[in-house]
Structure 1
Amino acid sequence: MSSLFLSHAIWQHPQVTSLNRLPMTSLPLFFPTLEEALSDALGGPEKRDLSDHPYHKSLKGTWDFILYDNPLSVDERVLDEKNSLSWKPVIVPGSWSIQGFDKPHYTNVIMPFEDDPPHPPQVNPTGVYRTAFTVDNHWKNRRTVLEVGSAESYVELYLNGAFVGLSKDTRLEACFDLTDYLKEGSNTLVLIVVRYSDSSYIEDQDQWWFGGIHRDVTLTSLPKKTLSDIKVTPTLNEALTEGIIEIRTPGNQVIEALDVRVYTDAGKLIEQEILNAEEGVIVGSLKVASPKLWSSETPNLYYLGISSLNEHLVIPIGFRTIELHRGNLLINKKRVLIKGVNRHEHDERTAKTISVESMVHDIKLMKQHNFNAVRTAHYPNDPRWYELCNRYGLYIIDEANIESHSNYDALCREESYAAAFLDRVQRMVRRDFHHPCIIGWSLGNEAGYGENHDAAAAWIRRYDLLRVIHYEGAVRPEWGQGAHTLESLKRGSFATDLVCPMYPPIALIEEWDRTTDADRDPRPLIMSEYNHAMGNSNGSLSDYWDLIRSSRSIQGGFIWDWVDQGILVDDEGKPVGFRNVEEHVPKRWRYGGDFGDQPTNYDFCLNGIVFPDRSLKPVMSECLKVHQPIHVRSSNPSSGYFTIISEYDFITTKDIALTCSIYNESSSEEYTFGVELPILQPGGQAQIHIRELQESRVRKMMGSSTTFIRFVCTLKEPAPWAPKDHIVALEQFVLSTISKSLHIHAPAYPIKQTDDSLFVETILYKASISSEGFLSALHFEDRPPLLTSPLRPSLYRVPTQNDGLKTYTHLEGIKGFSFYHEKKAMKPWLEHSLNDLVLILEELKIRHNQVKTIHQLKTHTGLDIGSVRQTFTFTLEEVFLHAIFDLSDAFAEYPKVGYRCSLTKQEEPVSWFGRGPEENYPDRKTGSLIASYDKTVEELFVPYIVPQDCGVRTETTRLVLEGAKIEGILPFSFSIHPYSPEELWEKRHADDLVVDEVDHLSLDAAVRGVGTATCGPDTLDRYRIPGGIYQMRLRLS
């Protein structure tokens, strides 16, 4: 018989979830004194230092490691501490897949191996970890417990050659009692981690598969008689004026009494009770008068000190209520809008091993952009994450590590997996019960809906009466992952207290809100995933929020998702991991398939609103705006009367400063002044009068050109999550609109003709029209030449990932991949080579200082797509272009309508008056205010990991390049890139792009919105470009 328990192949028996694993507990670490425990709790994870803790030892560091092809090939000698095997160093915690062993593997729905539950593949990488430790003398006559924070996906534990136990569930810690296996001196610990197991079929989330140990491995020494667990339930009376802390221990406690104390967040003792055991159970309560309530805006914590014998612990708690009432989720009796995001645990270097610094950075970025909620997609997170969310203030939906996407309908109804479903939910709830940030428990993600879910929901409803249950699968149709319908959204009330669809069309949830009877179904609608953020995306976020704010029971949602799951690699394409490697600019991030991982879902792991290193994508300015807690409204802005509306739920505006700026298009002058902001109560509003609008200089500005007023709300003082002067809200209004003249009064200049072109020469510029009828040269005095290629009409942009996934084009027709490429906007554009438009000159007329042309527009496949009429007018100082596009219905929609050309390299920053400063599109522009901006060409480009169209700025009326100033008599959109469209389409990674010798300019009358079609609704009709008439009127000077 093998000395390895592996021979029993428990990794493919889902009925067995563990052996000898200790029950999950909600207890934090014990300390020798209450003062030490309180100091640790008050300082939190950011200040925690356990290096001097006498009864706690971290085993993080470098371990010995061997990787085998499968668990049954593991050499039994790994348990012999004097073996001669070839061990290699590996860092713990840290996935072996990013440390040179095996490789990361990305899939979304499909399994990374042959789909045959519960069996893992024959080639199943199995890592053997070895380290040694000694036990201090003062640990003797006590219990020694080992905790493995996270092991993917099956772990067996051996100490000094003896089998101790095993555990499944990659995302929750597993604890084992080592006491009976210890020896004097050095103890040899071996962990055998099997990468794939029966658990993999219910851990089939949209993320990388990594083998190894992701969180810390620790040793803790406990007294023989110790508190096994405790359940602390803070509640409030109906008036929210008195807090009650209910305390209960499990039965059969060996502790006879507990000294319980309540401290404020300043460490002040305010209550104390001695609770005695009766028949092995300790039950009691304490009251707190006029408690400060916990919410995301007011994360007020109290600290419950618990002492028994010679051990002491402190549990942070918060007083808050959660309830459902007539279609609304109420927190502390208030309808709170959920401004949420889904967050995977991911680090560009260290994969699933996340530092406290990284967690804090995420939280600060979220709160700085007005997020107030996170769904832990799709598994319980590192315990320190919840501690930090308690302290900074984020609402959390805590999600069980259950997703069976590839076996959607089967495993939720499969009896052999019933124990695993229930075990994962129970252990998550028991571990995280005390965190006030958690407002709901999720039964998992994309795992169908069956009896196993109902069993888990029933257990939660008995164990936790104070939180809601979330499960999206319960509001799907009965079978399959079909689209949500009005009927399906009314299903599943036993398994979910929230109607929580994924990617619902706006029209559907609007109809749901209009037709649902809140007396019959009191559940609010909070989208579990929406506004999919793959590449250049997040169209219509403002449209969702316009509906949310005007609805009865639509209460928000969680954007998918937080961070691009790109992996940083070195020059050889290997994961950087923990190595110090000089970083390439742009960074070399890799996605599915880049490591030879097949089958894969390629770039579908790049769905974040921030890049892998947490640098911001342009959508973050949109998030800040649509989520902002203060709004300014006016029906007549030029009157100077504005209404300030607070969307805060629990705090006033006393810490907010308000600044106004008045400016217009024709002047660089900006009139900025402070405004006294009334102290608004939560949800309150007040009218202010901007008297400065009556000043003569402002009236003069308003009469000279289109004039704007901008309101900016900032923090008066630093907050824990943001510095002083951080912007929390902004609004903009047009004070006056001055139409630009369509008449040209300047002196005309005649056009000269040669054999192959037309040209004009004044004392200020030279211009040429090619024989094909395009502006081919323009050179203003004292400026470099503007054009290096003709200004040609163009109807094409490089597809975004929402337009279609270029990484999937080779998979068309293959079963299982149709979702990724069918019905995508780019398909007809590519089939008919819209990028290579055929322009047939039908007419060219010269009339003194004007050139008029008519071009027919066709594709190489013979489609007639309309015409474009151009009128060029030449004066002493300027060139005018009036273009009229008349597009047919040959295409259901066009990607853009406008012009494209190449420019002399722009060495100086480009400036413009229009929406900015960040990239914006017709359906993602709310957070981009109209003003004057300047950026370099490199800064105007957005380095999405998969190159695609980017960098558009809409509603532009002035664009200043080195070679010319371009003014829009009608507003236009522009983008300027250092890369050619061909380069952007052909390359698969931003770091592979080669800078061109020229810059590439697009000027457009219309551009298609970005939508969310990779996984969600496509661009709304009003942001698409159907056939019809489109005009451009430009002045070049």
Structure 2
Amino acid sequence: MIADFHEDPAPGTGRRAPRADFVSDAPRLSLNGQWRFRLSGTAAGTGPGLPDPGLDDSAWDTIRVPSHWVLEGHDKPLYTNTAYPFPIDPPYLPDDNPTGDYRLRFDLPDGWPAARDVLRFQGVDSCGTVWLNGELLGHSKGSRLPFEFDVTGRLRERGNVLAVRVHRWSSGSYLEDQDMWWLPGIFRDVELLSRPEGGIDDFTVHASYRDGTGTLLVTADAPGLVELPALGLAVPTGEQVTVPDVRPWSAEDPHLYRGTLRAAGETIELAVGFRTVEIAGGRLLVNGRPVLLRGVNRHEHDPDRGRALDRATMIRDIELMKRHNVNAVRTSHYPPHPEFLRLCDEYGLWVVDECDIETHGFIYSGWEGNPPAEPMWRDALLDRARRMVERDKNHPSVIIWSLGNESGSGAAFGEIEKWIRERDPTRPLHYERDPSYRHSDFYSLMYPAQDVLERIGQRKEDTPDGVEPGSPDDVRRRGLPFLLCEYAHAMGNGPGSLVDYQRILESYERFCGAFVWEWIDHGLAGYDELGRRYHRHGGDIDARPNGGRFCIDGLVFPDRTPSPGLLELRKAIEPVAMEVSGGELVVTNKYDFAALGHLAFRWFAETDGERGVSGTLSVPHCPARSSVRVPLPPVEPADEGETWLTVEAVLAGDARWAPAGHVVAFTQARLGNGTHRRRASGVTPATPSRQAEGELRLGAAVFDGRTGRLLRIGDLELDGPVLDVWRAPISNDHGIGGANDLAADWEAAGIDRFVHRTGGIERPDERTLVVRGRSGPATRTLGFRTAYTYRLRDDGTLHLRIDAEPVGDWDDTAYGHLTVRPPRMGARFALPGGYTDVTWFGLGPGESYVDSRAAARVGRFSGSIDALQTPYVVPQENGNHVETRWLEVSGPGLPTLRVDGEPYVDFTARRWTSEALRAARHPHDLTDSGRVWLNLDHGQQGIGSASCGPALPERHRLQVRPYTWSMTLAPVHP
């Protein structure tokens, strides 16, 4: 028999004490690579012979380490949001427990020193038991944390056999229910380290800063010499020194003093950042100044490798964050690979380092048996906190420890708090889910509505359930700074209202920051029957329970392409605000530390999207959190056309994360009162190309005599308009758990299945035609009475006014007092499939909606119809453009359709209908219908973030009321 630890709630056996992760010149042997592997169905694995060095494993599979076996062709990945994928029966697991047995044969390099030897695993999910040369070393749980074994005297020069048994489910899994794919395996690095006798095994860097002066103290478990050449320092460990005129570390200026720690012939790399974190006066301060964290929650994820990320991917994440004005990361919901934190030190990101603890699935037991409240879990929970703090304690980027996520409350959090405060009093603590907030230095919530957030900023929030109003806990909480640890759920097309949230966060000193949920869509690579690559979500895996598409909730797509939501966030949180006021440009520096000397300011003017004069602005010295006024450049608005001034703040020189010229912030201001010019030349003469029996004619326009639908204008074919009041639901339209499920309301009321009736066609005069009708769903009385009024203009163009008046019962009691509102008020046209491109003047270049439009600029833009589609992992409404002045739809050999809004229309153009978009499960399900479907709309409701957040605000919803909008249609030729 061999030991079976997987159901033991103990965190591990045989391990070394946790310590700092560091880089040194001591010999190190990477054991990453190809290992032998065999997967079994139960915790017994391949049986008791696994550790035997003589075992013949030549017939076993090979697997790369680090990796997850479910992404290497063995078993399948599983995704859940809150539910455990096994019965809640702690600490026990089902008999069916996939178990991977790993074996590696390795030799020591020539010259490997005869010193202490340490075997380190950076991450094993979920429980790893380890043998070396047939001898049991021990086991460990805590998947996202390192563990080490002392293997001194147990190594051979040749023919070492390392055996590891990894259980997919263990007692540790009860502490790791973190809204993510369950991905088992040895997924981080495995290393053999040589540690010199008498050398330093662990050390702590204390590097504080106050009023221009730094204080440095490096303590270690053995004597050593600390050297920082840039400061002229060479001091022994244990000796505190004061350093005048030190340059402090911040996310805006991540200055590191590079140096060494030497002992027993070993040189350890140091990267010292002087900074002090404290809470004073109800505010979070770094280096004595208040900071505002503009952050994202970051799971480790790659569509091919899962959580087994390489350094290049980490750098790509950080550079994308910095380029989109993100300055902070919450490591949801576990400590990341240590290399990520080294990169945060170097590139400059504030970090909330979160412990590998989440017990969310106990909501299904009414929190009965929740581990933080049960004594048998005390050691496991405290072990995870210790390993996080000891590993990451020397990173200046880590400014807050988070005790875990969504794990209710319990005595264990008090013990974790006590241990961390004694071990590291230099950083505040965060924990959101205990309503007393006794163990947190922050008041914190997830997904509050904007009015709730406003009251929190005023310190007038409602008392949490379970807390007595006016009690010491209530009073203490109101004095705490507020950290919005999750908001703006970035699932599918969204999130909306980012600018609204940021306005509130910047309006009250209580707020110290916010973190969007989340950084990346957790899509896993898949291939359809034709070999086309796509991204799978939980619902694509044949397993129950699963969290469906809820893992597709990131600001970047699985391949790390920025989504429209990330572009909107970049604008909402830009660190420089610019506003035209009284003939001047008011420049407001929103950085917490940096002046604006690293930026250049350039401007240009455009009339109807055509570039005119341009230049640069000289902006005087502007310290952090202050404003300056700059005279506007001498731009005269055009007599005809819309003149817009655009000012951009760009990097003046290359930064580590972006080249010179990278746009950090921009603003636009309209100059004068001119309106956009209509295109008069090239209008097709006002004569019809043909007229068949049963058709009506108005100049060059031809209509169906029965339905009144416009069929063509001259030789330009188009079929429409048809009243369109529905959109293919976005993720946020579905709400969460039955709450705010607007899409279900639309379906219940029939908004998605309107049919149309022509009530009559009138000719009040020879230049006017009116088509009256009614649109509504079967079985219901609700609908709209419509009138399409066409008028022939003198220049041969066709003016269209659409009137839609609600009729019937929109406040229906048959579906539980359902009050339905249309998500769209629009008109749909069908064009020939040969159209390929759209040029427009309005907001662009990306998609925009009423509550997500700050990233869009007014200008003239062009793009292919295919490129106008946003390929969300789950197909849904996309590609809308608000406030379009005019657009032209063109294609080879076809007349161009020109549409002028009066003053604006929203437009979308795609090769499939909204109905097809709704039916598709993945982007590759969408096929060319042979037509181009063009929507010319009054508008759509906003997008919000109700997939895990508050309901869409009323101001961003369409009301049931009469609507009127107008446009001019014309075919044009070059």
CA RMSD of aligned residues (A): 2.3
| CA deviation string 1:891-911 (max 9, x = no partner) | 532110011122122544311
- Separation in 2, partners of 1:914, 1:271: 59
Q: State the secondary structure of the residue aligned to 2:527.
A: coil
Q: Report the CA distance shift for 1:170/1:769 in structure 2 as closer, same or farther (over 3 A).
A: same
User: Is the aligned partner of 1:247 residue 2:166?
Assistant: no
Given that residues 584 and 629 in structure 2 are in contact (C-alpha distance below 8 angstroms), is that contact kept between their aligned partners in structure 1?
A: yes
1:559 to 516, 534, 538: 516
Deviations 1:685-706 (A, max 9, x none): 221112413xxxx24x1x3133
- Name the residue aligned to 2:225: 259
User: Which of 817, 821, 834 lines up with 1:893 in the alignment?
Assistant: 821
- Whether the 8 Å contact between 2:900 and 2:967 is mirrored in structure 1 is yes
Alpha-carbon distance in structure 1 between the residues aligned to 2:87 and 2:286: 46
Match of 2:549 in 1: 603
Would you say 1:416 and 2:371 are equivalent positions?
no
Among 192, 196, 209, the alignment partner of 2:169 is 196
How do 1:141-160 residues align onto structure 2 when only pairs under 5 Å count? 141-160=114-133
Pairs aligned (count) = 931
The one-letter code sitting in structure 2 at the alignment partner of 1:141 is A
Shift of 1:324: 1.6
Are residues 1:795 and 2:714 paired?
Answer: no
Query: Aligned with 1:497: secondary structure?
Result: coil
The 8 Å contact of residues 698 and 769 in structure 2, kept in 1 or not, is answered as no
Instruction: Pick one of 3, 6, 14 that aligns with 1:5.
Output: 3
Q: What is the identity, as a one-letter code, of the residue corresponding to 1:67?
A: L
Q: Which amino acid aligns with 2:733?
A: D
Supply the distance in 1 between the matched residues of 2:494 and 2:109 (Cα, whole angstroms). 56
Long gaps (5+) in structure 2: 462-474, 812-818, 891-895
- Tell me what 2:464 maps to: none
**In the alignment, what sits opposite 1:511?**
455
Deviations 1:97-140 (A, max 9, x none): 11101111111111112222221222111101111112246435
C-alpha distance in 1 between matches for 2:361 and 2:633? 63
User: Which residue of 253, 258, 264 corresponds with 1:309?
Assistant: 264
2:588 to 633, 645, 649: 645
Distance 1:462 1:776, change over 3 A: same
Return the alpha-carbon distance in structure 1 between the equivalents of residues 505 and 772 of structure 2. 47
Give the alignment partner of residue 291 of structure 2, picking from 336, 345, 353.
Answer: 336
Give the corresponding residue for 2:703. Answer: 768
Conservation of the 8 A alpha-carbon contact between 1:882 and 1:1034: yes
Structure 1, residues 406-460: CA drift from partner, whole Å, max 9, x if none? Answer: 1143222111111111111111011100000001000111111211112111111
Which residue of the other structure, out of 389, 413, 432, is the alignment partner of 1:453?
413
Q: CA deviation at 1:987?
A: 1.4
- Cα deviation 1:703-760 (Å, max 9, x = unaligned): 3133221111111211001011100000111222346899x9x999799997633123
Partner residue of 2:243? 288
TM-score normalized with structure 1 length: 0.87
Q: Is the 8 A contact 2:899 2:967 kept in 1?
A: yes
| 3-state secondary structure, aligned to 1:284 | coil
2:920 aligns with 987
Pairs within 5 Å for 1:745-894: 756-761=694-699, 765-780=700-715, 785-787=716-718, 789-804=719-734, 819-847=736-764, 848-875=766-793, 876-888=795-807, 889-890=810-811, 891-894=819-822
Contact 1:759–1:769 under 8 Å retained in 2: no
Q: Aligned to 2:746, what secondary structure does the other structure show?
A: helix
Superposition TM-score, scaled by structure 2 size: 0.92
Aligned to 2:624: 682
| In structure 2, C-alpha distance between the alignment counterparts of 1:572 and 1:83, rounded to whole Å | 40
Tell which deviates more after alignment, 515-524 or 858-867.
515-524
Structure having the larger proportion of residues in strand: 2
Give 1:977's aligned residue: 910
Deviates more, 1:704-713 or 1:894-903: 704-713
Please state how far the C-alpha of 1:938 moved relative to its aligned partner: 1.0
Task: Name the SS of the counterpart of 1:344 in structure 2.
Answer: coil
SS of equivalent residue, structure 1 residue 390: helix
1:928 paired to 2:843? no
Quick check: 1:1001 aligned with 2:939? no
Q: Gapped runs of 5+ residues in structure 1?
A: 33-54, 276-282, 476-490, 574-582, 806-818
Where does residue 43 of structure 1 map in the other structure? none
- Alpha-carbon separation, structure 2, partners of 1:910 and 1:802: 28
Q: 1:553-702 alignment to 2 at 5 Å? A: 553-571=510-528, 584=532, 587-636=533-582, 640-665=583-608, 668-693=610-635, 698-699=636-637, 701=638
Q: Distance in 2 between matches of 1:519 and 1:529?
A: 22
Partner of 1:363: 318
- Residue aligning to 1:42: none
Output the amino acid matched with 1:185. R
How do 1:144-223 and structure 2 match up within 5 A?
144-223=117-196
AA aligned to 1:707 is T
Call closer, same or farther: CA 1:878–1:149 in 2, change over 3 Å: same
CA distance in structure 1 between the partners assigned to 2:782 and 2:200 by the alignment: 80
Conservation of the 8 A alpha-carbon contact between 1:261 and 1:304: yes
- In 2 relative to 1, CA 29–753 (structure 1 residues): closer, same or farther, beyond 3 Å? closer
Secondary structure of the residue that 1:63 maps to in structure 2?
strand
State the partner residue of 1:25: 19
Matched AA of 2:712: A
- CA deviation vs aligned residue, 1:352-376 (integer Å, no higher than 9, x gap): 1111110111101001010000000
Shift of 1:390: 0.2
Asked if structure 2 preserves the Cα contact closer than 8 Å seen for 1:768 and 1:778, the reply is: no
CA distance in 1, matches of 2:704, 2:953: 38
Contact kept, 8 Å, 1:906 with 1:937, in 2: the verdict is no
Note closer, same or farther for the CA distance 1:993–1:20 as it changes in structure 2 (3 Å cut): same
* 8 A contact 2:750–2:780 mirrored in 1: no
* Contact residue 116 and residue 152 of structure 2 kept, 8 A: yes
Q: Superposed, which structure 2 residues align to 1:352-501 within 5 Å?
A: 352-408=307-363, 409=367, 410-475=370-435, 491-492=436-437, 494-501=438-445
**Is this contact kept in 1: 2:15–2:140, CA < 8 A?**
yes
The alpha-carbon deviation at position 247 of structure 1 amounts to 2.7
Q: Distance in 2 between matches of 1:704 and 1:29?
A: 65
* Cα pair 1:536 1:1010 within 8 Å, conserved: yes
Q: Distance in 1 between matches of 2:717 and 2:649?
A: 41
Contact 2:640 2:676 in 1 (8 A): no
How far residue 226 of structure 1 moved from its aligned partner, in angstroms, is 2.7
AA aligned opposite 2:401? W
Conservation of the 8 A alpha-carbon contact between 1:758 and 1:771 = no
How far off its partner does 1:525 sit?
1.4
- Kept in 1, the 8 Å contact 2:43–2:95? The answer is no
Q: In the aligned structure 1, how far is the partner of 2:878 from the partner of 2:53?
A: 57
Relative to structure 2, which stretch is displaced further, 520-529 or 607-616?
Answer: 520-529
Structure 2 CA distance for partners of 1:193 and 1:757, relative to 1, 3 Å: same
SS at match of 1:853: strand
One-letter amino acid of the structure 1 residue matched with residue 827 of structure 2: Y
CA distance, structure 1, for counterparts of residue 685 and residue 534 of structure 2: 54
- The answer to whether the Cα contact below 8 Å between 1:235 and 1:321 also exists between their aligned partners in 2 is yes
State the identity %.
30
Query: Which AA in structure 1 matches 2:327?
Result: N
| Structure 2 residue identity aligned to 1:122 | D
Q: Describe the superposition over 1:185-218 as per-residue Cα deviations: whole angstroms up to 9, x where unpaired.
A: 2111101111111111110011100110111111
